[in-house]
A and B are shown apart, each in its own frame.
Chain A
Amino acid sequence: AQSVTQLDSHVSVSEGTPVLLRCNYSSSYSPSLFWYVQHPNKGLQLLLKYTSAATLVKGINGFEAEFKKSETSFHLTKPSAHMSDAAEYFCVVSLPRQGNKLVFGAGTILRVKS
C-alpha cells in the first residue's frame, strides 16, 4: 500500500530563515510525488513534482525538494522564508495504476514570523 506521512503538523520560522517541511512515503513501486500549497479558503496550487527524472526538483517561489529513495523521503525546502509563504503544505503520492489517484498527507501549516 502507498501512503505519505508529513512529520510536522505545524512549523514556525522567522522571515528570512530557511524552511524545511518533512515528508516520508511508502510505496511498492517507483512513485510520483508532489508538493501542493493551500492558502486559507483557497484551492491547492502545485509547487513541484517528482516523476523519476532528476532527484532534486525545483518548483515555484524558490521552493525545491529532493527525492531520496534510500530514506523514502521527499522533504520541501526554501533558503529564505517570506511572509507570503505562510500557508498549509501537502505532500502527495500518486497511484497511476488506480486512475491517477492521489494520496495526501495530513498537511503542515507553515507560520512565518516577522
Chain B
Amino acid sequence: DGGITQSPKYLFRKEGQNVTLSCEQNLNHDAMYWYRQDPGQGLRLIYYSQIVNDFQKGDIAEGYSVSREKKESFPLTVTSAQKNPTAFYLCASSTRLAGASYQETQYFGPGTRLLVL
C-alpha cells in the first residue's frame, strides 16, 4: 500500500526538551510539507521541501527545524524554543513536475498529536 506514515501517534514533551516527529512516504513524491493544526485555525505551514537536501520556511517556522536527507523522509524537530508546541501535526507530500501548470494534490498522513507535560 502506498501512503504516508507518521509516528508516533501521540508524543509527550517535557519542558526544555527537543522532540522529533517522523514522516515517511512511499509515493515517490518529490515535495513534502509539515503543517500545524490548532482548533478553529485550519492548518498552517511550518516547513516544506521541494527536493532532497533543500527545504524552505513556511509561515510559522520559528522553534522548528527539519531535514531532508532522503526523498522518502522529512522529520520535524520541535525545539525547546517553541513555547507553545501543543498541537496536531500533519505531514503531506505531492509530486513535482517541472513546468507543470496544473495544481498538484497534496496527500496527508494520519497526524501526530504533541502534548506538553
A46 contacts which of B33, B88, B107 (Cβ < 8 Å)? B107
Interface size of A in residues (CB-CB distance below 8 Å): 24
Tell me the smallest distance from the CB of A76 to a CB of chain B, in Å: 15
Selecting from A13-21, A65-73, A95-103, the interface stretch reads A95-103
Beta-carbon contacts under 8 Å, B36-87 to A: 40-45, 48, 50, 56, 58
Q: Considering the chains assembled together, what is the distance between the CA atoms of A107 and B56 in angstroms?
A: 26
Taking a contact as CB atoms under 8 Å apart, the answer to whether B43 and A90 are in contact is: yes
* Also in contact, A100 and B104, with CB within 8 A (given A41-B111, A42-B111, A44-B90): yes
The distance from the CB of B76 to the nearest CB of chain A, in whole angstroms, is 15
- In the complex the two chains form, is A94's CB within 8 Å of B48's CB? no
- Please name all residues of chain B whose beta carbon is closer than 8 Å to the beta carbon of A34 when the two chains form the complex: 105
Determine if B45 and A107 form an interchain contact, defined as CB atoms under 8 angstroms apart.
no
Q: A102 touching B106 by the CB < 8 A rule?
A: yes
**Interface contact B94-A105, CB-CB below 8 Å:** no
A sample of 21 inter-chain contacts (CB < 8 A) reads: A32-B102, A41-B88, A42-B110, A42-B111, A43-B6, A43-B90, A43-B111, A44-B90, A44-B92, A44-B108, A45-B108, A49-B103, A90-B43, A99-B31, A100-B50, A100-B94, A102-B43, A104-B42, A106-B42, A107-B40, A107-B42
Counting from the closest, the 3 A-B pairs by CB-CB distance are A32-B103, A104-B42, A43-B108
Other contacts beyond A49-B105, A104-B42, A105-B42: 8, CB < 8 A: A36-B108, A41-B88, A45-B108, A51-B102, A90-B42, A96-B101, A100-B94, A102-B43
Q: Which residues of A contact B (CB under 8 A)?
A: 9, 32, 34, 36, 41-46, 49, 51-52, 90, 94, 96, 99-102, 104-107
B interface residues, Cβ below 8 angstroms from A: 4, 6, 31, 33, 40-45, 48, 50, 56, 58, 88, 90, 92, 94, 96, 101-111, 113
